[in-house]
Amino acid sequence: MKKQKIMVNILGLKITRHDTGAALISDKGVVAISEERLNRIKYSKNIFPELAISYCLKDSKIKPEEIDLIVIDQILLRSDFQAEKKFREWDKNNQFSKARIEVINHHDAHAASAFFCSPFDEAAVLIYDGYGEITMNQLGIPVAETETFYYGKENKLIEVQKTTHPVIQGARGRDMITRKHRYTIC
């Protein structure tokens, strides 16, 4: 039996912190844009990417009700900020009600965009990022992920190791220390 190709329309969103935006993957290709390109507000920090969503839909000629899956990355503590709730509140008219929403880890999103768009079937993937998802460590201290190492094979990414830093000091604190002492991180 011939394999049937199943196409889904996937809307990827970044709705918190800097550079909010949207990307739409469909059988027509990929359309992506940052909110700042449309509202002319640099970095558009914490500005919900409604103009970017409209742009992606219009350019792809896809209606909101044709979106099957919405993927949102998580940065803030999940107990403080519920990305799915935020999206549903914005979608007052339930235009996207048919879409399932998946909230994924920020570094997983970086790793997926790098590995799945690469020409490699197998690769080591290192995400070195100033400030990823914030979680609580065993001591109840909020920590932000800074580096995550993955093993990528075919359609899978396996997390191998993750480094975090307390949010109080944060990645910026670490950068200040390395600059002061002239350490180089490769």
Residues in touch with Fe ion (CB under 5 A): 129
| CA dist., res. 101 & res. 10, Å (int) | 10
Q: Which is nearer to Fe ion, 23 or 62 (CB)?
A: 23
Beta-bridge partner residues of 72: 13, 103
Minimum CB distance to Fe ion, residue 80 (Å):
18
| CA dist., res. 71 & res. 104, Å (int) | 7
Q: Which is nearer to Fe ion, 67 or 83 (CB)?
A: 83
| CA dist., res. 39 & res. 56, Å (int) | 15
Nearest-CB residue to Fe ion?
Answer: 129
Minimum CB distance to Fe ion, residue 9 (Å):
25
Can you give 49-108 as a three-state secondary structure string?
CHHHHHHHHHHHCCCHHHCCEEEEEECCCCCCCCHHHHHHHHCCCCCCCCCEEEEEEHHH
Q: Which is nearer to Fe ion, 129 or 147 (CB)?
A: 129
8 A C-beta contact, residue 47 and residue 39: yes
Minimum CB distance to Fe ion, residue 31 (Å):
21
Return all residues near 89 (Cβ < 8 A) that are at least 6 apart.
Answer: none
Minimum CB distance to Fe ion, residue 19 (Å):
9
For tokens 């998946």, name the residue. 102
Minimum CB distance to Fe ion, residue 95 (Å):
28
| CA dist., res. 90 & res. 70, Å (int) | 14
Q: Which is nearer to Fe ion, 128 or 151 (CB)?
A: 128
Q: Which is nearer to Fe ion, 83 or 99 (CB)?
A: 83
Q: Which is nearer to Fe ion, 59 or 129 (CB)?
A: 129
Minimum CB distance to Fe ion, residue 12 (Å):
14
